[in-house]
Amino acid sequence: MSNQQASDKKFIDIVPLGGLGEIGMNLMVYEFNDKLLIVDCGITFPTAETPGVDQIIPDFRYLLENRERVVGYVITHGHEDHIGAMPQIWPQVPAPIYGTGMSIGLLKGKFREHRLLGKAVFTEMRYRQKFQVGPFNIEPMQVTHSIVDAAALAITTPIGTVIHTGDFNIDHTPINNRPTDLFSLARYGEQGVLALLSDSTNVDKTGRTISEQVVGKELQRLFAKAEKLIITAAFSSNIERTQQVINAAVAVGRQVAPSGRSMLNNLQIAQSLGHLKVPENTLVDIKQFKKIRRDKLVILSTGSQGEPNSSLTRITAGDHKTIRIQKGDMVVFSSKFIPGNERTIWTLINKLFALGADVYHEKNRKGIHVSGHAPQDDLKLMLALTKPNYFIPIHGEMHHLNLHRKLATSMGVPESNSLVMENGDRVRLDSEGVRVIDHVHHGRILLDGKGIEGVDDIALRDRRQISESGLAVVVIAVDKKTGKLKNRPELMTRGIVYEEENQDLLDEALDAVEHSFTLGPKGMDFREEDEAGLPELAVRGLRRFFKRKLGRRPVVIPLVMEI
């Protein structure tokens, strides 16, 4: 294709590879004149349906197939669901990276951990300062969110401007005095916005954003009545919340000890960028815990979602090197119960209550957490300011996206000019309207350990089955010369029954294995069978037996030993 033919294109394509119809794993691709711009590159977290999985990233085959056309990554903010997949995807699809100061700081930490730091080119973008990435002219605009340095993007091409909000809310009185840039959004609205792609996470919440300042006042009230140790759990990336905890601790005469690697790292990054103001002698090393009176200390901990290896989880389990819960201690969850994590969080809370702690969270104490996502009134204001010709809701499950589309219709956007996208859709914007024209490969890659290859469906199925029904290993010994069974098979189980108290049942199971051999076409003559004959018969016999006796079909592993 000639340069002249490419420049004559009068459309822009939008391809989501994650974040549509789900919470998290945000990755959006903008395409113009055969060049690809990637906005955000995030992960989502595993659930009970994905046992053993550490994190989930978008299937990026489409990017691999088109890597020569990728001109850059632009990051709206530093949350894991927007940057967490970069260390896995960027090495295979390298391109320059653009982000605000905090986003770049967090990304550099990740790249350093994965030994990629010297290979990537990072460029810090500044609010209201335009820059060019291939054919895309981009202006970042300041927005408030539950992390500092969040940005909405104005992405301009010759056919018009697309506003990509990222995650946002509209806090008119943020504690850092850096409110959402309504002026710039309105300026683009007056100039003409081709399309608005707006955060839908909190569209089912009425009203407007509650200011972060409310949290600071409520934390101070709680801290003032505490008589022993205070532990506050929050997202380590929520620097404004960290500031509120520090302010409340100082107000009641307590020092603050950060606990958890990500908490320490993010505190250091935020302080170096000037986003965190800490009075002298306020922060103390967690190693000094035993030297400070419990009633003069606040532990600022990771683990608000009950993450297995987090600081709060280890404290609650009694596995922390330094801290133990005592009766009368106060634990404050200054965070949201993220959908999918509720059971884990409640388990942690119940354990804390059992240890004698007083526990406060968003379900039993108003004002200790406010959301970083825009409720309906904020979403309406975004629509009113930008006045888009086309509207596409992003970031949310299908009910969020559809509700947001209805909200846009109530604000005057014609139904024909709005669209609910799904991951893998290729949506075209041009003079003819907004529509899905094609679909690209998409999906999820499940990661565990250090692998990028991912966990395949068969392995995941086996993990689920083992977790639900247990595992049985049957050992079959055969004579190397005659191929006959040497002796009765042996059986080991895990997660099916307690072996010491159910030996009669296990003996019956072995009877079922031996009986299955007699049903084979060659009896028990292994040498005359297909090599897989005895193992297959053993698996079939055991699974049928446990299904009949226990109503379960465990995973059965047969081992044949030639003696």
C-alpha 72/C-alpha 157 separation (Å) is: 15
Domains of the chain listed by start with CATH number: 12-207+371-447 (3.60.15.10), 213-360 (3.40.50.10710), 458-562 (3.10.20.580)
- Residue 484 pLDDT > 50, yes or no? yes
Is 183 a residue whose pLDDT tops 60? yes
| 100 compared with 562, residue with greater pLDDT | 100
Tens digit of each residue's pLDDT (9 = 90 or more) over 148-176: 999 999 999 999 999 999 999 999 999 88
Q: Minimum mean pLDDT among 90-99, 224-233, 303-312: which range? A: 303-312
**Three-class SS string for 395-414?**
CECHHHHHHHHHHHHHCCCC
Residue 278: is its pLDDT beyond 90? yes
Rg (CA), the chain: 28
Backbone angles phi, psi at 545, to 5 degrees: -65, -50
Whether 199 is a known active-site residue: answer yes
Average pLDDT, the chain: 88
The residue ranges of DSSP E strands in 398-508, in sequence order, are: 425-430, 433-439, 444-447, 471-478, 490-494
Are residues 59 and 443 in contact, defined by beta-carbon separation less than 8 angstroms? Answer: yes
8 A C-beta contact, residue 90 and residue 41: yes
According to the model, what pLDDT value does residue 53 have? 61
Tell me: pLDDT of 531 over 90: no
Token couple for 403: 């509700």
Beta strands in 113-167 (DSSP E): 122-124, 131-133, 136-143, 150-157, 160-164
Quick one: average pLDDT of 92-105?
96
Give the model confidence (pLDDT) of 314-334 as tens digits: 999 999 999 999 999 999 999
- The active-site residue out of 40, 149, 199, 378 is 199
Highest mean pLDDT among 233-242, 523-532, 546-555: 233-242
Q: What span, in angstroms and rounded, lies between the C-alpha atoms of 4 and 21?
A: 38
pLDDT bin (cut points 50, 70, 90) of residue 513 is confident
pLDDT score recorded for residue 547: 85
The catalytic residue among 361, 373, 404, 442 is: 373
Alpha helices in 387-494 (DSSP H): 398-410, 457-469
Confidence check: pLDDT of 6 > 60: no
Residues contacting residue 414 through CB under 8 Å, at least 6 positions apart: none
The owner of tokens 């189980």 is: 493
Residue 340 burial (CB < 10 Å; 0-12/13-18/19+)? middle
Q: How far apart are CA 121 and CA 265, in angstroms?
A: 21
The answer, yes or no, to whether residue 528 has pLDDT greater than 70, is no
Alpha carbon 431 to its chain's center: 37
Tell me which of 544 and 392 has the higher pLDDT: 392
By CB atoms closer than 10 A (0-12, 13-18, 19+), residue 243 is buried
- Give the residue from 197, 234, 192 showing the smallest Cα distance to 212: 234
Whether 285 has a pLDDT exceeding 80, the answer reads yes
What is the C-alpha separation between 109 and 107, in angstroms, rounded?
5
Residue in the structure block whose two tokens are 């076409």: 521
pLDDT at 333: 95
464: confidence class by pLDDT, cuts 50, 70, 90: low
Q: Are 140 and 116 in contact (CB under 8 A)?
A: no
Q: Which of 73-77, 109-113, 327-331 has the lowest mean pLDDT?
A: 109-113
